[in-house]
Amino acid sequence: QVQVVESGGGVVQPGRSLRLSCAASGFTFSSYGMHWVRQAPGKGLEWVAHIWYDGSGQFYADSVKGRFTISRDNSQNTLYLQMSGLRVDDTAVYYCARDQLSYFDFWGQGTLVTVSS
């Protein structure tokens, strides 16, 4: 069955960097675009970034543009989110989700990133 599992979250100081990973299985990873979506504690959902199936296109929310980089390794069925210049308001659960052009059909359980001094 389709499965995506995030990892790499933790506690990090403001201004530092962190890389999240998302391991995919149960589907042909290289045929699908992928996304990162986050949810601050007690808040709603916020789309963060999207990457095309072959990695040739990347798109970002304005709130993370220039600080976050989405990438993928299709040989390893893995999606990444490199986060730099982290801010307190980046604290959230980060979800990996599979793309179906206009919506997200499968989501992982998320990984918590806490930015705090």
Partner 1 sequence: EIVMTQSPATLSVSPGERATLSCRASQSVGSYLAWYQQKPGQAPRLLIYGASTRAAGIPARFSGSGSGTEFTLTISSLQSEDFAVYYCQQYTNWPPMYTFGQGTKLEIK
| Binding-site ranges for partner 1 (CB under 8 A) | 35, 37, 44-47, 50, 59, 61, 95, 100-110
- Least distance CB 64 / partner 1 (angstroms): 13
| The two three-digit tokens of residue 56, written as one number | 């040739």
Residue closer to partner 1 by CB (options 45, 84) is: 45
Residue closer to partner 1 by CB (options 27, 47) is: 47
CA–CA separation, 3 vs 22, rounded Å?
10
- Least distance CB 16 / partner 1 (angstroms): 26
DSSP code of residue 88: G
Residue closer to partner 1 by CB (options 13, 101) is: 101
- Least distance CB 44 / partner 1 (angstroms): 5
In the chain the beta strands, taken as DSSP E runs, fall at 3-7, 10-12, 18-25, 34-39, 45-51, 58-60, 68-73, 78-83, 92-99, 104-107, 111-115
